[in-house]
Structure 1
Amino acid sequence: MVAKPHTKSTKRTLRKKKVHLKIEDLEAFLNEKIKVNGKTGHLAANNVKVEVAKTKVSVISEVPFSKRYLKYLTKKYLKRNSLRDWLRVVAVNKNTYEVRYFHINDGEDAGSDHE
């Protein structure tokens, strides 16, 4: 008797939280740029799906998929669209990232001395 190899499905999620971001463009970017076994464009053949629901993009994979790689690609997307100066990618829990605005204090700078 031969044991079947167990394929564990991993799900990585990216949420947008009150951010003006074109979620469909991000989905298209991820579909185009995600590499599986060193090659782009082979998502369907390797059982990797990128799904969109209202404010959430999910990457579902049956092959090992790094959460850090999803963060890297999201940062690359933000940089390409000149959004990296206002938005950041934050880990919310083990399988989820959120895209949020930077917290900018409108008060005094602690490091500057004005006389």
Structure 2
Amino acid sequence: MIVPHADVGPESEVRAILPDDIGLYGSRMPFAAMRAGGFMDPKIPHGSVKSFTDPPFADDAAELLAASPLDAIACGLTSSACKLGVYGEREFTERVQRRTRGIPLVSTCAAAVDGLRGLGAQRIAMVNPP
């Protein structure tokens, strides 16, 4: 999982739902909105969110993870997908996946859409946690 350098949330959340026989490994990359200790700007600046997807950081992080014997790589920053939109997120994952030695790369929002479609969801309600 590719995560912001000071964010332990995505790894903790995914670890909590994975079966015990599946491993989770992280690769960190700089995220300008975060500071040491996990502190983040109260309002995440759009520039920081956009820069998270700019080369070379995610590309390099994916390549480092792909050197390991993995089955998939996940990108754990939902904010960037919301900022990029559907087509921008797809372009981002296609670009980064060129560095993964053929290991599939999934992103947060696209994976959620695929999961909801797989469940046959027609209508959903969203709750924004505090």
Fold similarity call, TM over 0.5:
no
TM-score (norm 2): 0.27
Between structure 1 and structure 2, the one with the greater Rg is 1
**Larger RCO: Structure 1 or Structure 2 (Cα < 8 Å, ≥ 6 residues apart)?**
1
